[in-house]
Amino acid sequence: MEEIARGVYTAKKSNGEVYYRASFTYKNKHISLGSSDSYDKAARKYEYANGLIKDNDRGIEDYDDNCPLSFDKYVLIINYRDNNIYLSNPIYVRKKYFSYYLSPNEEMKFSMDDLFYYMSHKIQKRGGHLFVADYGMQLSLGVRYGMKPYSVAGKDHNFINGDELDYRYENIEVLNTYQGVEQCVHKKRNCYRTKIHLRSNIIVGYYDDAVTAAIAYNKAVDILKRNGIDKNYTINYIDNISGKVYADIYSSVSVSKLLFDMA
């Protein structure tokens, strides 16, 4: 690249087309501001970024569509300006937590214990679902907090303050940890209902605790598989009881006779 003006460089695409890149140095950190199809646009990015670091009154809420910088770049520059820490994701560090911005109008909140993780994992949103790329897989965000994939708010988990973007640990209440298990009221008592889907939902049974309900689900899966149902069910992994206790519960727990009939 060739610098043609302060903070603006020319570069060429593989087809020979010229484009312009903007960057600046702040606190000994070289920060790329992105590419543009014209010199004027690149120069405006450079001038705007330099003005942003000098204007301590300008905050994240002041971002608008006229800003030449991407919103992600805007956030990370302000965070670096205010907190002296450069992060590659749109994170703003606060006193007791940090904000991760999905957009100018979508502010997620996380406990400080999660900062290192989200420094290197970008949150993506698709079809209303939040996920990160982790070890080559798309991992549902809630799984990190004990939620099942595609867990339903109000049914499988709660956000205590009502804000579904507030993922601070103290704000998350997991109601249903295990596959096929949900809390319910049955015959005027609080209990756990186990369901499994074949051609429709089958009620496996009602149980006094979540672990027994989860083991009942596993037993239902085994019954269906023994009877030729080749379906990719997710087995519940239960690590808070011994193998003997698991086996005792498994052998004694009752499941619906419908499982045998439908298999």
For residue 234, the model assigns a pLDDT of: 87
For residue 64, the model assigns a pLDDT of: 94
Same-domain check for residues 148 and 191: no
Give the pLDDT confidence of 126-181 residue by residue, as tens digits.
888 899 988 778 889 998 998 887 788 888 899 999 999 999 999 999 888 898 99
The total number of structural domains in the chain stands at: 3
The last residue of one of the domains, among 148, 175, 202, is 175
The residues near 99 (Cβ < 8 Å, ≥ 6 apart) are 60, 91, 92, 107, 108, 109, 110
Residue 135 contacts residue 120 (beta carbons within 8 Å): no
The reply to whether the predicted model has a pTM over 0.85 is no
For residue 240, the model assigns a pLDDT of: 85
For residue 11, the model assigns a pLDDT of: 87
Same-domain check for residues 75 and 91: no
Same-domain check for residues 100 and 167: yes
Same-domain check for residues 117 and 66: no
Same-domain check for residues 92 and 68: no
Per DSSP, the residues of 207-234 read ESSHHHHHHHHHHHHHHHHHTT----PP
Same-domain check for residues 77 and 97: no
Same-domain check for residues 205 and 138: no
Instruction: For residue 20, give its domain range.
Output: 1-83
Same-domain check for residues 70 and 126: no
Same-domain check for residues 78 and 96: no
Same-domain check for residues 78 and 129: no
For residue 74, the model assigns a pLDDT of: 97
Q: How far apart are alpha carbons 76 and 17 in whole angstroms?
A: 30
The last residue of one of the domains, among 119, 145, 175, is 175
The last residue of one of the domains, among 141, 175, 209, is 175
Same-domain check for residues 101 and 126: yes
Beta carbons within 10 angstroms of residue 6's beta carbon:
10
Q: Which residues of the chain have pLDDT under 70?
A: 1-5, 262-263
